[in-house]
Amino acid sequence: MTIQVGDKLPEAKFRVMTSEGPQVKTTDDIFKGKTVALFAVPGAYTGTCHKMHMPSIFLNAYAIKNKGVDTIAVVSVNDAFVMSAWKRDTDQRDEAIFLADGNADFAKAIGMELDASGNGLGIRSKRYSMLVKDGVVTKLNLEANPGKVEVSGGDTLLGQL
């Protein structure tokens, strides 16, 4: 079942790169007691994700945070090493946490997995953005086409705050 506005995020674990190497962060670590703008992409460094989705997030990051968002998070079905390199290459002002959902466990738990096997990418995440307050989804913007950023970008979420 796909997560909906009003639903609480399920328990899940992500990997986040730290100076000591990959560390586990739970949904509680990321979302409990916070307002989080979560952006999900099918794959780090892929064309639409890298050239369209990420710029829409970081061009709006200050404004998003000024509207009461505590954390901007980016999640993808990639490993923590790839997500760390992607953060280095896209998040010049260190405005977001990059969450590795390497086995798509989170994507599957919220019904947002995407079978991209036809393109050689395996199971990935659908493209979406959501606003999460204390673990509860308050806004959800799911792209109909994973190759486009029409409703899941930073500008859309900013307009909803």
The answer for residues whose C-beta is within 8 angstroms of residue 4's C-beta and 6 or more apart is 137, 140
Any residues with CB less than 8 A from the CB of 140 and at least 6 apart, and which?
3, 4, 5, 128, 129, 130
Name the 3-class secondary structure at 22.
strand
Mark whether 49 is an active-site residue.
yes
Measured between alpha carbons, how far is 5 from 94 in angstroms, rounded to an integer?
Answer: 28
Reference 138, options 25, 8, 16; nearest CA is 8
Contacts of residue 136, defined as CB under 8 A and 6 or more positions apart, other chains included, come to 6, 7, 8, 9
In one-letter notation, the amino acid at residue 15 is R
User: Which candidate in 9, 12, 36, 49 is catalytic?
Assistant: 49
SS3 label, residue 103 = coil
Residues known to be catalytic: 49
